[in-house]
Amino acid sequence: MAESWQDASVRGVAMIENELVVRDFLEVWSARDSRQLLPFLHPEVVYSASSSQEIAGRARVLEMCDEVHRAFTEIRIALVTIAVAGSVVLTEHALHLRSDTGEGHWLRCFGSYELRGEQIVTWRQLHG
């Protein structure tokens, strides 16, 4: 049986909302104030990066964000591509990091965000 247009509309709206949550999350993350990230992260969020072990729980993920924010004087994210499939949002973005020496570096990144109830429950990040 084919999906009704009403069901397709509801699913489409949910995917747009998921995309907007991730876009807003990346914008707030660039502001370097981890307290503002709290409403975006599910209490059971799990973060994993290409070069580290998984970090589980909102408090621990926020601590990691604080560490990154303290390590750099400037953090900017330039979103290149975003794709949504149900509750998963995929991003390609450039991450600009500037240290206190004034030296800046651009990294190419790929992110995967799984959402539950408009909060990020899984956040995977690859840096290159």
CA gap 93, 110 in Å, rounded: 6
Residues spanned by the domain of 111: 5-127
CA 42, 32, 13, 85 dihedral sign is negative
CATH code of 55's domain: 3.10.450.50
Q: Within the chain, which residues score under 50 in pLDDT?
A: none
- Report pLDDT for 2: 76
Instruction: Indicate the helix (H) or strand (E) that contains 84.
Output: strand 74-85
**Structurally, how many domains does the chain consist of?**
1
Query: Which residues are within 8 A (CB) of 74 and not within 5 positions of it... i.e. 6 or more apart?
Result: 96, 97, 98, 104
Q: pTM for this structure?
A: 0.90
CA gap 92, 80 in Å, rounded: 5
- Report pLDDT for 1: 64
- The DSSP code sequence of 35-79 is GGGGGGEEEEEEEEETTS--EESHHHHHHHHHHHHHH-SEEEEEE
Both tokens of 49, joined, read 């990066």
